[in-house]
Structure 1
Amino acid sequence: MKYDLIPNSLFIKNRKKFMAQMKPKSIAVFNSNDVYPIGADSTLAFEQHRDIFYLSGADQEETRLLLFPDAMDKKHREILFVTETNDHIAVWEGEKLTKEKATEVSGIETVYWLSDFDKIFFDLMTEADTIYFNTNEHYRQAVVTETREDRFIKKCKADFPAHQWAKSNPILQEIRGIKEPEELDIMQTACNITEKGFRRLLGFVKPGVWEYEIEAELMHEFLRNKSKGFAYTPIIASGNNANVLHYVVNNQQCKDGDLLLMDVAAEYANYSSDLSRTIPVNGKFTARQKAVYEAVLRVKNDATKMLVPGTIWAEYHKEVGKMMTSELLGLGLLDKADVQNENKDWPAYKKYFMHGTSHHIGLNTHDYGLLKTPMKANMVFTVEPGIYIPKEGFGIRLEDDVVIQEKGEPFNLMGNIPIEVEEIESLMNQ
């Protein structure tokens, strides 16, 4: 890992929160992700399953975490299983977690080799009534491959048919949505790295550069600041490309007079940041571009103020829709008849602003977190309104990451990243 060691106090707290909600005489198991093959002897770069990372800090393949608060032997109430390393692995792949290092990272005293899992797990299951399965129930999930968790669940159901089953996901949705101070510090670091990348671009972008060159500049800045790179596939969309919401080919040349919409951000220590900015390729907004830009910025600023404890996510989006409708009327993109005759299931403003305004962010870009209950302090949300006008050849989206406060307005983790028209133009024309 490139990142600095995270204090294991974070993972100790996270496990305590999870175990406090487990049923009596129950076991929970969490598996690392697979290493995915792409052909021949090649694989994708390993990405740790965010749940096992959240609970242990173990950032290595072939890892399992077992939690059993009611285990008769106290040393078996928290167990981390890691792959046994050897000299051959050390030569070919580098250092892996030793038992001692695994304890240092996770705060878990009992560490076994993964080869011992089946024997120890069978013994502990004789003491347990319930097994928690870690299913993926995120509202955006679209998993089409069988995961290591899926295989584990199948085997458990076959091997232990008399046990009761429970779901870890509802607990994780609740506790992962509210960030600890250590998590907020890590996310601030990710946002700070993103800021460095964006400021680098303001001096680089000009007519004639290619979208992939901008991507390369960002990757350079992210890597040199201990990030693995992008927190998600970067969107670098010039001109009409900005009207494709998930434009990721990034293969067009930026032209004089175009706007450049970038939805790009760094990760740090597996935590995401999520930034959108729109800038003029030639360093100067036209009057029309500026008018639309400032409309989006007003919606973003007003929407941010609404992210306070007690807000309901669905109702919040309805209010943001009203704000956007007002701005679109002012820009002449909608008229009163459009609003009066709108389909309530797809309001008139959706023609120009068709996506949501906010989502949880943390270990995942679209993070776990409750959405049907009132918002709470220390939840972190994006705020990302946009206006997309294919007929005029541009789209604008602005996005920051904000922390809900117990009292007062949210804290903007990206508050130092330029967003005002005058500052962006000034920096691009230095």
Structure 2
Amino acid sequence: MSQHVIETQSSQAGQLSEVVRKAQLAKAAAPKLALLTTEQKNNVLLRIADALVEQAASIIEANALDLHRGRENGTSASLLDRIALNETRIAAMAEGLRQVVLLPDPVGEELESFERPNGLSIRKVRVPLGVIGMIYEARPNVTVDAAGLCLKTGNAVVLRGGSAALESNRRIVEVLHETMAQTVMPADALQLILDPSRSSADEMLKLNGLLDVLIPRGGASLIQNVVKNASVPVIETGAGICHTYVDASADPDMALKIAINAKVQRPSVCNSMETMLVHRDFAAKHLAAIAEQFVQQKVELRGDAASRELFPAIKEASEQDWDTEYSDYILNIRIVDHLDQAIEHITAHGTQHSECIVTEDEANAVRFLNEIDAAAVYHNASTRFTDGFEFGFGAEIGISTQKLHVRGPMGLPSLTSTKYIIVGSGQIRG
């Protein structure tokens, strides 16, 4: 047991905190979970999917409590949208689990094998990470996605969602526990921290020996707090300041369609566009028409002097605006003279999440795709596709913007590590 856990226990006069107690339960369940076959895990996930649909009414009832509290507290419309559940969204959550079932189980996959001159046979195989800690905000669908992906890969998981969706998460996990308790899967492998205070999240950051990895998912402040203060290893899922660059040769109809989709289809999520960069030549002909479409969609526009000259309804953008993830109906617009200037802006203000170029110039497209450093780069397609379900992963546990271990939407293989299995016939090292 780690020193931190010992200190936590002693500091509470022998009474375990909720965080430590539930992490210990997950830790104890992890070895049992890791032994389940693919068929056993898939059967449980299918039963969970059915249970979510069957219990949709009770989940929506719990969700209504979160929404009511949010409205009373002045929660923004975009955040309420992230929290809100209905039968369609619950059915989508269940479908995500069914898609995970259809995907290959990475656990036990042989990545390479070779034999040494001394006769040792060596195989490299995928294994579960162990116990995953998830700290996230708002969206209750993350609870189901994280549980499904972790359980499919044989990982126990400790979930700590935000207070805004506490009742929704509580009821969802109750449904999952009730279902798991009727199967071979240990229900203790899934834990939900109900303490919504900052201290419960901070406590998870130091649970070395109980948690094998932490995955934060939410706004920039949450992620940076975890990255800067955790002693448990962290997979960083980044904030999404995403850009769409409309090049001089862009098809106007395509540019409009992609830009509107990237901003308006669901502005509250991390892969939505926050800044549109427009080549000066294209802007002179088409910016006013595109901006008018945004205004009709109730999007507040903020921009540089050049964009405001072309469309006076655009408000002046501050320097801070270029570095802000709005997650709302707000969009920055900047006019650029050439591709290099667009790349420079994205490099300075992007978060290495998702970036798009709309162009008919193949050379410019190739340069953009090669030179932009991001987890996902697009040519003539909306950044809204950076998503585990859209990539065919069934679901995702987050979108990693770091470069170690994994990058981009994190599906099943991302939740595994590897180990070497060595078989000999009595060899000793001289």
Same fold flag (TM > 0.5): no
Which structure exhibits the higher relative contact order, with contacts defined as CA atoms closer than 8 Å and separated by 6 or more residues?
2
Q: What TM-score do the two structures reach when normalised by structure 1?
A: 0.29
**Greater helix share, 1 or 2?**
2
